[in-house]
Amino acid sequence: MRAGHRTGAGTALSVALFVLCVAAPGAAAAPRGSADSVAGSAKNMLLEVSPYPADLRLAAHGFDAELPGVTGLFAATDVQGYAVGSGELPGAGEFRVQGEVTCVKVVGNRATIKYRFARTRGPGAPPAGWGVQVFVEDNGPPGAGTPDGNATDAPLPPEIFDPTADQCELPRGPYNPVDSGNYVVRDGDAVGAGL
């Protein structure tokens, strides 16, 4: 019963952060019609073969622009958001990482998010200042067929993460199906084009 309460509180926090991000000043002055956005909270097993559950909560939005001449990479501008990851790693122990989003890229129902760890906790957590790139897939409301999914790259130290912290790769999998929770992904390009 208690774990379900935490998931509900996490989802409420994510939705509240999303609303604050979307209502932030300056969003109306952006050069395009609508911002890309991602919000939600979901739990699943790490790598689908581990007995250890993980939780990813996030709320982010931003306008992005393609970097000329760099295939598959995008620079984020006017990005706002926050992410929290927690779970347990085999042989390392529990971890909790959280921090501000440094880039967001949405293509259709899939998103890429990078965030830098402002705070970390637990024996399995990398040091503060490191960062990570995560991917989420929105397949509609829970119970509507295919579950949402997520994937995570390995965390990187600042000397590797920082030079490309504002450049998200195109969303990619393979996506690990979530066991509970929901992500909502909104492609600002599609909304701005009236799709």
The confidence band for 20, taking pLDDT boundaries of 50, 70 and 90, is: very low
The confidence band for 50, taking pLDDT boundaries of 50, 70 and 90, is: low
Q: What is the pLDDT of residue 47?
A: 66
The confidence band for 53, taking pLDDT boundaries of 50, 70 and 90, is: confident
Average pLDDT, integer, range 119-144: 93
Contact 126, 161 (CB under 8 A): no
Average pLDDT, integer, range 133-144: 89
Check the CA dihedral 23-62-44-50 and report its sign: negative
pLDDT at 108 over 70: yes
Residues 6+ apart with CB under 8 A from 163: none
